[in-house]
Amino acid sequence: MKTDNNIPELLCPAGDLNRLKTALQFGADAVYLAGKEFGMRTASNNFTNEELRQGVEYAHKFGVKVHVTCNTIPHVDEIEKLPEYLTFLQDAGVDAIIASDIGTISLVKKYAPKCELHISVQSGTVNHITATEFYNMGAKRVVLARELSLEEIAKIRAKTPKELELEAFAHGAMCVSFSSRCLLSSYMTGRDANRGDCAQPCRWSYSLMEKTRPGQYFDITENEKGTYILNANDMCMAPYLDKMRDAGVSSIKIEGRAKTEYYVAVTANAYRGALDSLDCEGEWTVPTWVMDELNTISHRTYSTGFYFGRPENAQTYKDAGYIRDYALTAIVNGYENGKVTAVLKNKFLAGTELNCLEAGKVPFTVKTDKLYDENDQLIDSAPHPMQIIKIPFERPIKTGSMLRMKVE
């Protein structure tokens, strides 16, 4: 957990209640989430009002803060429903509300004054004047635009009130747009990215066609599949967290409210380990296991975005595919008679070498030379999702830990 030794807060995504609990288990200092309306990710399950209350209560038991996104650009009929929802968020004990629209910001101050006001990345804050004005409007924190370099962030930090917190993305998917203000999805599909319903047309394959030659297509990058000309690589700043800290970043943010529970566990655990290791003397280097972990999740080619200037490897044009090295195999739910018990997620054969992700520990190997079913009968394979399996192991493994296997 975050201490007073100048280590930034670890802010993790929570697409639903299970993922919130996973983020907490694997080291989040704070989580960000959305209700069924007003959040920028409709693809995730999001929270009903009752689930949101449960999530806040659960998080607060562990000293973890809950930030709720109200960062869509609401139209007339939508914004009229916002005061009631903001009143509910304050009553539920939410720690912060993330907003970008000026009207929404004014309503947050009026109907949820006990909640911190955080200015969303959607606002595109790229200079100290803007950041200071948001502070003067009552903002406790500004989520900085992804287009900033670390040098620019340091200048913003030096020229803004010290009470204003600066949050910045460290990991996850990036948009080809200015801080997510994208019109492409709405234009091509009718799904408004600025109201949370992005169809991700920036990941599609495109070809060029000349006006007077209808039906005659030309490859933009001399590829028979066309070009993924708008496809941005994923961000990974794990090796440079010391530089983000030194630039004045208060909170390290992980993108991914629409991602899986496994993604949340891996990123939270890896960045928790990396941030905790910052508290050392001498020159810092990210632990090797952290990068190994971040390569186990489904991701596009990693880049550092704009943090070190204009990026050289910001996009992948040949496809929009993901790199997938590992598959979630089972989730640990107990230990008895020298055997770890787990709920199966993906089938595997006895003898398969598994890797275990346990909160607060460097990942380790679990061998399955012997594999048992729930009745302690020796089995050759585990083929049925949700079946209970048992694996001999020398010690208990925490409930909720994840077993995974290498995939081709």
Q: How far is CA 193 from the centre of its chain?
A: 18
d(CA 381, CA 405): 14
Here the tokens at position 161 are 């009130």
Please state at what angle helix 17-25 crosses helix 261-276, rounded to 10 degrees. 30
pLDDT given at position 179: 63
Q: 75: part of which helix (H) or strand (E)?
A: none
- 326-406 topology per CATH: Elongation Factor Tu (Ef-tu); domain 3 (2.40.30)
How far from 180 is each of 122, 240, 322, 325, 355, CA to CA, in Å? 6, 23, 21, 29, 36
Residue range 121-143, pLDDT digits in tens: 989 999 999 999 999 999 999 99
Domain ranges of the chain: 9-177+232-303, 326-406
Here the tokens at position 274 are 């990396």
How far from 326 is each of 13, 171, 356, 362, CA to CA, in Å? 21, 19, 11, 16
d(CA 98, CA 95): 10
CB 323 within 8 A of CB 389: no
Kindly write down the DSSP assignment for every residue of 93-115, as one continuous string. Answer: T-SEEEE-SHHHHHHHHHH-TTS
Beta strands per DSSP E along 316-393 = 326-336, 339-344, 348-349, 354-357, 364-366, 372-373, 381-382, 388-392
Nearest to 45 by CA among 261, 208, 232, 308: 261
Q: Check: CATH 3.20.20.70 for 9-177+232-303? A: yes
Buried b (16+ CB within 10 A) or exposed e, 253-283: bbbbbbbebbbbbbbbbbbbbbbbbbeeeee
pLDDT given at position 312: 67
Its pTM stands at 0.86
d(CA 273, CA 254): 14
Q: Name the pairing type of β-strands 217-218 and 208-209.
A: antiparallel
How far from 324 is each of 167, 291, 293, 299, 327, CA to CA, in Å? 29, 14, 12, 7, 8
Residue with tokens 């005061």, as numbered in its chain: 83
Q: Which regions of the chain are under pLDDT 70?
A: 1-5, 39-44, 178-181, 218-227, 229, 311-322
pLDDT given at position 2: 46
